Amino acid sequence: MSVSTTRPVRLLGLPGSLRQNSYSLAILRGLQAGLGAEAVLEIRDLQLPLYNQDEDGPNGPEAVHAFRRAIAEADGLVIATPEYNHGAPGVLKNALDWASRPYGQSVLTGKPVLIISSSPAFTGGVRAQAQLNETLLSVQALLVPGPQVVIGNVAAKVQDGRLVDEASLEFALAALRGLAALCRSASRLEAPAAVGS
């Protein structure tokens, strides 16, 4: 079977908040709008049941199977998260716990991941980001190396449900290009030819 090595990188965006007007969701929407031809970003919410090991098996919740499939089919993940009480939101930790199993066969293992944290405060959710790094390292996800993408004062940087602050977008998009490069080297994808070449 021939496999195209020049398709765009497929990214899955996970907002760590279920709030309708979430800034985390707005960041992902802003990135979607700013992406070039090299990558596509699908956004998926984290409406999942609470993790219960008794229900974690072949007959487990369909929402969990679909979530794991979506991760498996993506080349890489972009997690945009707020900070709750100096840590990662339960919604996101819960989703990562589901994705971390079955033990030894997690769809997160070897998966390139970029974390972006934000807050209306100037601290930008940096403590949530540190916790998420630990969780993702425990399942051997591939974290994008480089500066942590932290967006402080985010309320002033979002308009009409989308991140519009130029400096924050540039910062995040540079990291996203790093993620795309990591995805390509992890799956031996080549970059699509530049338009016009």
Ligand X SMILES: Cc1cc2nc3c(=O)[nH]c(=O)nc-3n(C[C@H](O)[C@H](O)[C@H](O)COP(=O)(O)O)c2cc1C
Does 168 engage in binding with ligand X (CB under 6 A)?
Answer: no
Closest to 144 measured CA to CA, from 124, 167, 170, 174: 174
The first and second tokens of residue 21, run together, are: 């007007």
Nearest to ligand X of 76, 125 (CB atom): 125
CB of 172 to ligand X, least distance (A): 14
C-alpha span between 190 and 95 (Å, rounded): 31
CB of 30 to ligand X, least distance (A): 13
Q: Angle at CA 23, nearest 5°, toward 43 and 92?
A: 60
Does 119 engage in binding with ligand X (CB under 6 A)?
Answer: yes
Kindly state the number of chain residues that form the binding site for ligand X, as judged by CB under 6 A.
15
Asked whether the beta carbons of 89 and 81 are under 8 A apart, the reply is yes
Q: Are strands 142-143 and 158-159 parallel, antiparallel or unpaired?
A: unpaired
Q: Which of 55, 86, 159, 185 binds ligand X (CB under 6 A)?
A: 86
SS3 content of the chain, % helix, strand, coil (to 5): 40, 20, 45
Does 22 engage in binding with ligand X (CB under 6 A)?
Answer: yes
- Which part of the chain contacts ligand X (CB under 6 A), choosing from 69-77, 79-87, 94-102, 108-116? 79-87
Chain residues that interact with ligand X, rule: CB under 6 A? 17, 19, 22-24, 82-86, 119-121, 123, 125
